[in-house]
Amino acid sequence: MTTSPGDDTNGRTEGSVAARAAALAAVLATAWLLWSGLYKPLLLGLGAFSCALVVYASLRMRLLDYSVFSARFGWRLLGYWGWLGKEVARSTMQVTRAVLSPSLPISPTVAELDAESRNRVDLAMLGNSITLTPGTLTIRIRDGRLMVHALTKEGAEEVMEGEMNRRVAGFGGAEVYYVVTLAILVTMALALIRAVLGPTVYDRVLAVNMFGTKTVLLLSVIAFLGGRPDFLDLALAYALINFISVLAVLDFYRNRSRRGLQRQDGEAAG
């Protein structure tokens, strides 16, 4: 497999840079071999060159200075993912009920949560796990405190109870592809409506974001529908880099507000 935040290999948190570089090289080489599927000498050589180049770039970027690729692979982590999956399934149903019921029974709440671990990777995993679980959303992390927005009060209470916190530490049946393609297309249209309606810039960014995910799914489905699953690279490209534009927006507004410009000079734009 490629990798997930935790499942890189032997590097304990204190491992040396060299050990981390070796581990990174191993992961990259595996990823190359799995993606490529072509084992000609020329391509293997180019693969080795590419991995070496990326490791060199990572060293220059000092990505390996502290251990992002930190450790903790093991049964505990597997157990964590299993538990997270269960949570995601459960809360998906809750949000689904909320979305579909006519009265829209929501009670948005903001809760603050002290992470038990200050480790950066732990914090990131906790934050992302909370966001992955529908109905809860990490909106700010500062000094080991997480600000969590929950769709319902109950959701907030569950996060506060902190179980997640503790844990962190030739294709037949083409019709079904049509069904799912249709669902994705309709959702794209809905996201587009959201993008056009706004009302804030961020609603539009959200729509772009939703559109990106839908695009990844749609491209995967179409690749199979057209009988050319070797074109999944396209979906992979989007899965890897589509979030850069959201980061660019965050960067844009942070640098603007730092310059002391007026926050909402939008009125003048009328």
Partner 1 sequence: MNVLGLYNYWVFAVLLMIGFYAVIANTNLIKKLIGLSIFQAAVFLLYITMGKISGGTAPILPKGVSDAVYSNPLPQVLILTAIVVGISTTALGLGVLVRIKEEYGSIDERDIQEIDRQ
Partner 2 sequence: MIALLQDIASWILLTAGGAFVLIGGIGALRMPNLYTRMHAASVTDTMGAFLVIAGIMVQAGLSLATIKLIAILLFLLITSPTSSYALASAALLSGIRPDAGQAADRPAQPPPDKGSAA
Partner 3 sequence: MTVLFGIFLLTLLVITAVAIVRTRNLVVAVMLLGIFSLLLAINFFLLDAADVALTEAAVGAGISTVLFLGALALTSEFEHRRESARRRALSLLVVASAALVIVYATFDKPRFGDPDAPVLSYLGPWYLEETPEYVDIPNVVTAVLGSFRGYDTLGEVFVVFTAGIGVLFLLSARQQGTGVGRRKVDLRDEVLLVVVGRLLVPFILLFGLYVQFHGEYGPGGGFQAGALVAAGFILYSLIEGEKRALSALPLRALTVLTVGGTLLYGGVGVAGMLMGSNFLAYSVLTGDPVTGQKLGIILIEAGVGMTVCGVLLTIYHAFARREPAQ
Residue 168 to residue 122: CA distance in whole angstroms:
6
Site for partner 3 in 18-57 (CB under 8 A): 24, 28, 31-32, 35-36, 38, 43, 46-47, 50-51, 53-55, 57
Backbone φ and ψ of 100, nearest 5°: -85, -20
Residue-wise burial string across 70-86, b where 16 or more C-beta atoms lie within 10 A, e elsewhere = bbbbeeebeebeeebee
Q: Where in 91-158 does DSSP place strands (E)?
A: 109-114, 136-142, 145-150
243 touches partner 2 by CB under 8 A? yes
78 touches partner 2 by CB under 8 A? no
**Nearest-CA neighbor of 32 among 64, 68, 2?**
2
| DSSP helix/strand/coil, 199 | coil
Site for partner 3 in 124-153 (CB under 8 A): 124, 127-128, 138, 141-142
Residues 212-241 as x/- pattern, contact with partner 1 by CB under 8 A: --------------xxx-xx----------
Residues 201-240 as x/- pattern, contact with partner 2 by CB under 8 A: xxxxxxx-xx-xxx-xx--xx--x----xx-xx-xx--xx
Judged by beta carbon, residue 20 or residue 214, the one nearer partner 2 is: 214
107 touches partner 2 by CB under 8 A? yes
The only residue of 104, 170, 230, 263 in contact with partner 3, by rule CB under 8 A: 230
